[in-house]
Amino acid sequence: MHMFAILLRLAWRNLWRNHRRTLIMLLAIVLGTWAMIFMTALMRGMVSQMVADGISVLPGHVQVHHPDYRDDPSIANLISISDAELSERFGTANFPAWATRIRVPAVITSEYESRGVTLLGVDPLQERGLTFVDYDAVEGRFLESADDTGIVIGRKLATTLNTKVGKRIVLMSQDPENEIADRGFRVVGLFDANVQAYEENYVFAGKTTTQKMLRVGDQVSELVVLGDDFRDVEAEYNKTVELIDGRAEVKRWIDLDAYLGTMLNVMDGFVLVWIVVIFLALSFGLVNTLVMAVFERVREIGLMLALGMRPINILGQIIVESLMLLAIGLAIGTALAWAAVQPMKDGVDLSIVGDGMEMWGMSSTLYPELLLSDVILANVVVLLLGFLASLSPAWRAAQYEPIEAITKV
Amino acid sequence: MNLVFRLAWRNLWRHPRRTWLTTGAMMFSNMLLVFMISLQFGMYGLMIDNTLQAFTGHLQIQAPGYIDDKKMRQTVSDIVPLTETLRAEFPEQNIAARATGFALISSEDRSYGIAVFGVEPAYEPGVSTLPGLVTDGRFLVGNDAAEIVIGAALARNLRVELGDELTLLGSGRDGSFAAAVVNVVGIFDSGIADFDRSITEIPLGFFQDVFYMDGSGHHVVINAGSIDGIDVLQARVEAALPAGADLVVHDWDALQPGLQQAIKADMSSAFFMYGILVILVAFSVLNTQLMSVLERTHEFGIVMSLGLTPGRLGRLVLLETSIMGVLGLVLGAVLGGLFTYWFSVNGFAYPGMDEMAAKFNLPARFYPQVSTLSLLTGPLVVFVFTVLAALYPALKLRQLHPVEAMRAV
């Protein structure tokens, strides 16, 4: 223990003998650490936002459908359990949020235009908190109940259809027997979404009204459950499987949207690659600094060895010196990255490339996300690899023959 | 000069380990940059070409405002004669006319709302890859035949096969009811279910009859093969339009605003990473050169008192750095080139890439293209920063006083 304290002091003093060199290396480590963590926070924020947006449309962390629904999203593939029974089972299960919906393709027609859309027959009370639509920001009003006879459409779609709040439109779809099912609706509200495609693709009508129009009785196309954290939905998934009891297909969102699911995984891999790449770029300088530090101290290392210091302690001293340098750099770099993220907490506006972000499936506001696990990962990886990188110069220093080393000029 | 060069060369190899470590840092980042840039630009090229050639084309002639509203009434009148004229004017380009409508497509069991495109069967293969993707049956032949080509996913959902009949229900140009019965003659399979579900094609002449188009259409699509020189072509097409016609020519960036921006967004995050890498290398060089200058203080003092000016010494240091930089550049570019070449033959893929690739019409394996540009851009930037980093130690020499310097150990 006493030895270790001496090593610490020696290493610390050695570090500042050539303060210019140490400072430059420190600067490089700080910059590297900052870039690692800052960039990771941006990337994480992007992916989280993307997944959050994706789930809010998908929507739901755990979803229940008829087994054939996913390949054939038609009204003929409804969940075989009635809505009333589903409500009874899920109503008492204490999920943060859950809802049942009709979700079918339809054609919407105004007196001027027709468009293909996805019709969502919803119960607005269940749906609050699940959907991407902000009820209070709707122009006009959102649906008021499941048997509301109005329809809420996106602002962009309204422009295309040349319609507005108060006007009538016609929805066409099919019933389970493939008879054309159509019905006139009055537009009661226009919603805005942060991704324009949603404004074009989704229309909301009352669930009961939709069931009547499509002549499906008390059945629904999907049931969705929202958990507390989209990264971990196992608890909700297991409970849902139990409640459904094999009578419909239960899926996690990750299984439903391959793109989002892989993005999340690819991100984890990318973070590690990014950290390692930065470290490698740093490592050349780090090893170089150590090699130099050892080289200019050959005589004194020889002297210490001659005075009876054990080679292992020489080794330890160099490694401690290197780890100290890294630790200081990491601490400052991490602090700077944290500071850099703070002013961006309320979101960074990326709307200049908004359409492009939309192509990647992201919205145009970026909220960086500084995860403790990433900070720890970066620090641990750097310290660990830094330890490995310093082994070689430290090992060489420990191998000096005292006599040769002392006589070296 | 020769003498200075020899001096610089020998100085470099006084500490071969240090020199190699510094060169290694350059080589590492150069290799990485060559690979990443080759991959990136190859990807962007593919992304643009595949997306545009799939369906959109590089230029489109439309009625003013159509691009935003896509209303049925915003037409290009007498579209076929206009297209003929353009084909005569630009024999080297692939040009075809299209019209777009929405309809509820019904088979015996199912109905879906979907976009219907009227295309010129003879010319469509020149502006879209879709006709080539017909795996079952054939593409459209007659201009007035009651035929339709649909995607594989849609065929599966509609439960139809070749030869089956489909009913189209929609609204015509004047808002009146449009209906037709068509024969499925071809099924295309792009491998992307969403794309397969979003497009159906019928002959233009037939489309014009069914939707009461009165000889008009919505887009004249020009496939220029690549985006090089598209501005010039756009100006020429604009000039070739009949005088007084109320038409606009949109380039690919206007037609697919997301594409360019997705590339920009991706590029800016990539450049941030490259920038960090280059700066880290520059720090590594700065550290090395500063060390090599400081440890030679004594020797510099002597040569200065012998009459060598600080300016010449500074040039010596810069020359040393440049030699090291050239070494890193050449080795990095060569190794990076070989590394990338291997992937350009064998392809590059990482887990999860297929999902992302499909979103941008990309193949699941990339073949990065090695070009002079991708080979030299990164390494040259690294070289410039390397030399810049050496400026500080070189300028520091100016503060050296021969007498004091000679006393330094």
Listing DSSP states for B4-37 in one string gives: HHHHHHHHHTTSHHHHHHHHHHHHHHHHHHHHHH
Whether A152 and A135 have beta carbons less than 8 Å apart is answered as no
The C-alpha atoms of residue B289 and residue B388 are separated, in whole angstroms, by 11
Residue type at B98 in one-letter notation:
R
For B281, the closest of A42, A281, A353 (CB atoms) is A281
| A282 neighbourhood in chain B, CB within 8 Å | 280
Which residue would you say has higher pLDDT here, B246 or B185?
B185
Residue from B15, B47, B111 whose CB has the most chain A CBs within 10 Å, to mutate: B111
pLDDT of residue A98: 87
Identity of the residue in B261, B266, B281 whose CB atom sits nearest the CB atom of A355: B261
Q: Which of A199, A292, A358 to mutate to test the interface with B (most CBs of B within 10 A)?
A: A292
Kindly determine whether residue B352 and residue A287, on different chains, have CB atoms separated by under 8 Å: no
ipTM surpassing 0.85: no
- Compute chain A's Rg from CA coordinates: 31
Separation in Å, CA of B91 to nearest CA in chain A = 34
B152 to chain A: closest CA residue: A71
Of A49-53, A371-375, B299-303, B340-344, the range with the lowest mean pLDDT is A49-53
Nearest CA in chain A to B198: A116
Residues of B in contact with A50 (CB under 8 A): none
Q: Are A288 and B283 in contact (CB under 8 A)?
A: no
Which of B15, B258, B352 has the CB atom closest to A359's CB atom? B258
Probe site for chain B from A34, A77, A113, A362 (most B CB atoms < 10 A): A113
Of the candidates B175, B262, B350, which has its C-beta nearest A359's C-beta?
Answer: B262
Helix (H) or strand (E) holding A194: none
A261: chain B residues, CB-CB within 8 Å:
355
Q: State mean pLDDT over B2-22.
A: 87
Beta strand B134-137 with A62-65 is: unpaired
Nearest-by-CA chain A residue for B393: A20
**A354 to B261: CB separation less than 8 angstroms, yes or no:** yes
Judge whether B82 and B123 are in contact, CB under 8 Å.
no
Which among B193, B259, B201 is positioned nearest to B58, based on CA atoms? Answer: B259
pLDDT at position A80? 87
Torsion of CA A199, B247, B146, A183, to 10 degrees: 30
Contact (CB, 8 A) for A82 and A207: no
Of B106, B283, B295, the CB nearest to A28: B283
Q: Cβ A356–B24 below 8 Å, yes or no?
A: no
Q: Are residues B21 and A173, on separate chains, in Cβ contact within 8 Å?
A: no
Q: Where are the beta strands (DSSP E) in A245-396?
A: 249-252, 348-349, 365-366
Cα separation of B14 and A108, whole Å?
79
Contact B291 A292 (CB under 8 A): yes
pLDDT of A210 > 80? The answer is: yes
**pLDDT exceeds 80 at position B330:** yes
Contacts of A21 in chain B (CB under 8 A): 287, 290-291
Contact A357 B175 (CB under 8 A): no
Give the closest of B112, B169, B287 to A24, CB-based. Answer: B287
Min Cα distance A105 → chain B (Å) is 6
- Residue in B with minimal Cα distance to A109: B171
Nearest chain B CA: its distance from A250 CA (Å): 21
Got the DSSP string for A147-178?
A: T--EEEEEHHHHHHHT--TT-EEEEEEE-TT-
* Cβ-based contacts under 8 A for chains A and B: 202
Q: Is the pLDDT of residue A54 over 80?
A: no
- Answer yes or no: do A178 and B111 touch at CB < 8 A: yes
Contact A291 B17 (CB under 8 A): yes
| Helix axes of A372-398 and A19-57: crossing angle, nearest 10 degrees | 150
Identify all chain A residues contacting B280, using CB atoms and an 8 Å cutoff.
28, 31-32, 278, 281-282, 285
Q: What are the chain A neighbours of B350 within 8 Å (beta carbons)? A: 266, 269
Rounded-to-integer distance, Cα A327 and Cα A26, Å: 10
Structure tokens at B264: 């920009």
B114 → closest Cβ in A20, A116, A266: A116
Answer yes or no: is pLDDT of B183 > 90: yes
Q: What is the pLDDT of residues B376-394, one digit of tens each?
A: 888 999 999 999 998 888 8
The answer on pLDDT for A257 being more than 80 is: no
Task: Report the pLDDT value the prediction gives residue A58, as an integer from 0 to 100.
Answer: 57
End-to-end CA distance of chain B: 29
Pairing of β A150-154 and β A365-366: unpaired
**pLDDT at residue A1, as a whole number:** 63
The predicted structure's pLDDT at residue A334: 94
Contacts of A262 in chain B (CB under 8 A): 351-352, 355-356
Query: Does residue A333 surpass a pLDDT of 90?
Result: yes
Q: Residue A367: its pLDDT value, please?
A: 83
Q: Is the Cβ–Cβ distance between A157 and A117 less than 8 Å? A: yes
Share of chain B above pLDDT 70, in %: 96
Cα A263 off chain centre by: 8
Q: A32–B280: do the CB atoms touch at under 8 Å?
A: yes
Tokens for B148?
A: 């339709």
**What band does B98 get if pLDDT is binned at 50, 70 and 90?**
very high
Mean pLDDT across the stretch A49-71? 78
Residue of B nearest to A21 (CA): B287
Which residue among A105, A113, A358 sits closest to B113, beta carbon to beta carbon? A105
- What is the reported pLDDT for B205? 94
Contact A266 B351 (CB under 8 A): yes
Tell me the chain B residues in contact with residue A31 when contact means C-beta distances shorter than 8 Å: 276, 279-280, 283
What residues contact residue A87 under an 8 Å CB cut-off, 6+ apart? A100
Question: What is the per-residue pLDDT for B370?
Answer: 83
- Which of A25, A39, A359 faces B287 most closely, judged by CB atoms? A25
* pLDDT for the residue B326: 93
Task: Return the minimum-mean-pLDDT range out of A48-57, A64-73, A130-139, B355-364.
Answer: B355-364
Tell me how close the Cα of A242 comes to any Cα of chain B, in angstroms.
30
Contact B287 A295 (CB under 8 A): no
Q: Read out DSSP for A12-81?
A: HHHHTTTHHHHHHHHHHHHHHHHHHHHHHHHHHHHHHHHHHHHHHHTT-SEEEE-TTTTTS-STTS--SS
What's the pTM? 0.77
| Continuous H helices in A296-310 | 298-306
Q: In angstroms, what separates the C-alpha of A130 from chain B's closest C-alpha?
A: 24
Looking at residue A153, what is its pLDDT?
Answer: 94
For residue A16, give the amino acid letter.
W
In the chain, the amino acid numbered A120 is L
Whether A285 and B284 lie within 8 Å, measured CB to CB: yes
Q: What band does B193 get if pLDDT is binned at 50, 70 and 90?
A: confident
Best to test chain B binding among A58, A112, A359, A395 (most B CBs inside 10 Å): A359
Is the pLDDT reported for residue B288 higher than 90? no
The DSSP code for B78 is T
**Mean pLDDT, chain B, as a whole number?**
87
- Decide the pairing of beta strands A180-191 and A150-154: parallel
Mean pLDDT within B154-176: 88
Q: At what angle do helices B310-346 and B297-305 cross, to 10 degrees?
A: 130
CB contact under 8 A, A116 and B102: yes
Element spanning A310, H or E: none
Range in A1-5, A40-44, B104-108 the model is least confident about: A1-5
Residue range A386-396: average pLDDT? 89
> d(Cα A287, Cα A11) in Å, to the nearest integer?
16
* Distance from the A319 Cα atom to the nearest Cα atom in chain B, whole angstroms: 19
Looking only at the bridges linking them, the beta strands covering A114-122 and A202-206 are: parallel
